[in-house]
Amino acid sequence: MSRHRTRTRPPLTLALPALLAVAFLLLPLAGILGRTEWGEVGTHLTSPGVVEALRLSLFVSLWALGLSLLLGVPLAWLLARVPFKGKAFVRSLVLLPMVLPPTVGGVALLLGFGRRGLLGPWLEGTFGITLPFHTSGAVVAATFVAMPFLVISLEGALGGLKQSYEETAASLGASPVRVFFTVTLPMVAPGLIAGAALTWARALGEFGATITFAGNLPGTTQTLPLQVYLLLQDEPEAATSVSLLLLVIAMAVLIALRGRWTGTPAAARPAEVRATGPGPASADEAAAAVADEAAETERTPAGALSADGGAGAPARAAADPHDGGRWPLHADVTGFNELTLDAEPGTTIAVVGENGAGKTTLLRALLGLTPRAHAQLRLGDTDVTALPPHQRQVAWVPQDGALFPHLSALANTAYGLRARRVPRAEARREARLWLERLGVGHLAARKPAQLSGGQAQRVALARALAARPRLLLLDEPLAALDQTTRARVRHTLRTHLAGFGGVCLIVTHDPVEAVSLADRVLVLADGRTLQDAPPTEVTRHPRSPWVARMLGRNAWPGTASADGLVLPTGGRLVVAEALPEGSQALAIIGPEAVSVHRDRPAGSPRNVWEGSVREITAVGSRLRVLVASAQAPDLVAEITPEAAAELGLVDGSKVWTSVKATEVTLVEL
């Protein structure tokens, strides 16, 4: 869709009333400007009465702002974050002073806090405070009408803030208070500043509630708006000058905010990610990637700068900043996930499974961030089950990295160390070391918005590793990267995970990642373990059609018979090594084991089907041919482009496929 809208002439029926509305709003302002006696403005505004009222107005409005911040910030936080009964009522209560006529507000304040009001006698008896006819009364009146601006603006900003920022900060070791002051508050700052400015401007202009509740005593409660009202009777020119002053202040606030009062935190935008499609989907590619990376690893000593490390990393980057601890993992997870996980220090486990299988829920349970699943978790000798997320030493890299947008790459990376009270200089030095190890040392001063998707991911990883975790959780760490960057970062990741003394869980949908990065593949289905085995075992004997297909294999479920498998369609598959008859099984056929022929093949293969080519796709230097048949499920064959040309294969070609019985592996389900 084009980003440029064609300029169209607005329909007259809309344009006319809209213009009238603008004129309606503009005319009174023009009146003030037109009637101002410009030569006298200085005299009017410096008269003792006006100076006194201005001083009082500033005093009252700043106090009202202070009170609004003190009470309104927690209230906005409560409304945005905590589910509780009666929230709609509280929100209406907050908004009420905005729609209530201010004089009614003043009456209500009198009946609540006045001398004969509900709380007044107690305030007077206990503290000697009498609000009406006192400056404090003017402050209360201004706070009453102005605080809603702060609360709704901040609530909007907090609501728009993705919680993964705060959760990541907690996983890096920051206490809730630290998270609030170092992440939440800076990220909602635009909303907070806008709300505060509007609150102040509203308090400065308050009239009705103040005159009703606090009276109109010069020097005590007579603020500028009240003075304007008085001056209008005796000195209309002076009233115009003071009105002009208030108008200028109000306009200045609005112009400074430029519409930011909607409260959307500008900083909430995650670092731009250059997303591309999912990764290659064949086990061969995975194997090729492993081979490539093994070669790379040979050339790159562990701990040294990676292949993509960026030029000029200093030699000290080769020092190992891992603190040398070894933390085996034991987890019993209950709830949506029902599984037990044991892993030796240094194990990398790829967590795979269909959408909704419970991968993210498992990670969040280990972090202690979800009530949907509970993890009894032991890391090394420490049982961390009862500890809050920030004390578990479980670092989490969510899918989008969740780099704090208001901090530089360096400050992001140092965040976990600072949270653990490492002195600033040392934390920054160690953070720089990690950035260099991950090949992004030269980007230390950049903000996340100035990083590419790949760079941001590496910074996020550096940040997690720098926090000295005992368990590392990576949620699709490479999903957002293009193929080339993905291969590089994968290599970097492997190098650094090799030195990590804890367990690392990587959620992935990419078979290359699962096979090449992990020592074990944990396959989840409905929150439970379907398979937990080394990648080679999962590739050879996948225990679910989904995993098999994810790894690029053909997977046909069926019922074991004496010589092979009976397919649900009624067809048969002959295998060399049969399973006990009647058991449910999965036949795994590598696409390279499927032969494609133009005519029915003669000779040994017993599994022969007639079909037609439905799709031909290129995968690396080979072609994958999808053949549909009436007698068997769809079958993918992998052949060379030369073979395809010889056979004259195009979409729709009639072909025969065959698979030797020895090439089929049956896996009992």
Ligand X SMILES: Nc1ncnc2c1ncn2[C@@H]1O[C@H](COP(=O)(O)OP(=O)(O)OP(=O)(O)O)[C@@H](O)[C@H]1O
SS (H, E, C) 588-606: EECHHHCEEECCCCCCCCC
Q: Which of 240, 361, 413, 658 binds ligand X (CB under 6 A)?
A: 361
CA 565 to chain centre: 46
Name the β-bridge partners of 584: 559
How far apart are the C-alpha atoms of 359 and 213, rounded to whole Å?
59
Span of 158-166, 258-266, 359-367, 647-655 interacting with ligand X by CB under 6 A: 359-367
Does residue 496 touch ligand X according to CB under 6 A?
Answer: no
**Burial label, 194 (beta-carbon count in 10 A; 0-12, 13-18, 19+):** buried
Q: Which is nearer to ligand X, 357 or 560 (CB)?
A: 357
One-letter-per-residue 3-state SS of 474-516: EECCCCCCCHHHHHHHHHHHHHHHHCCCCEEEEECCCHHHHHH
Element of type H or E holding 438:
none
Q: Between 453 and 482, how does the x/- string for binding to ligand X read (CB under 6 A)? A: ------------------------------
Of 359 and 543, the one with the shorter C-beta distance to ligand X is 359
Size of the site for ligand X (CB under 6 A): 10
360 in contact with ligand X (CB under 6 A): yes
- Separation CA 322–CA 338 (nearest Å): 32
**Residue 289's closest CA among 539, 486, 554, 499?**
486
Residue 35 or residue 81: which is nearer to ligand X going by CB? 81
Given 102, 353, 454, 564, the residue binding ligand X (CB under 6 A): 353
Residues 365-404 that bind ligand X (CB under 6 A): 372
Provide the CB-side half-sphere exposure for 462 (13 A, CA). Answer: 34
Q: Which stretch binds ligand X (CB under 6 A): 202-210, 355-363, 388-396, 639-647?
A: 355-363
Residue 450 CA, chain-centre distance (Å), reads 17
Q: Does the footprint of ligand X cover residue 358 (CB under 6 A)?
A: yes
Chosen residue from 165, 336, 500, 609 binding ligand X by CB under 6 A? 336
Q: Could you please report the per-residue DSSP string of 519-554? A: SEEEEEETTEEEEEE-HHHHHHS-SSHHHHHHTT-E
Q: Which residues pair with 475 in a beta bridge?
A: 507
Q: Which is nearer to ligand X, 208 or 358 (CB)?
A: 358
- C-alpha span between 624 and 594 (Å, rounded): 10
User: What minimum distance in Å lies between the beta carbon of 504 and ligand X?
Assistant: 17
Only segment of 132-140, 354-362, 454-462, 543-551 that touches ligand X (CB under 6 A): 354-362
Residues 1-40: x where in contact with ligand X by CB under 6 A, - otherwise, as a string: ----------------------------------------
Site for ligand X in 563-602 (CB under 6 A): none
Q: Which residue has the tokens 């007044």?
A: 120
Nearer to ligand X, 517 or 655 (CB): 517
The residue from 2, 233, 355, 621 that contacts ligand X (CB under 6 A) is 355
Tell the smallest beta-carbon distance from residue 351 to ligand X (Å).
8
Closest of 195, 215, 190, 199 to residue 138, by C-alpha: 215
Q: Which is nearer to ligand X, 226 or 518 (CB)?
A: 518
Least Å from the CB of residue 85 to ligand X: 20
d(CA 71, CA 548): 57
For ligand X, the binding residues (CB under 6 A) are 336, 353, 355-361, 372
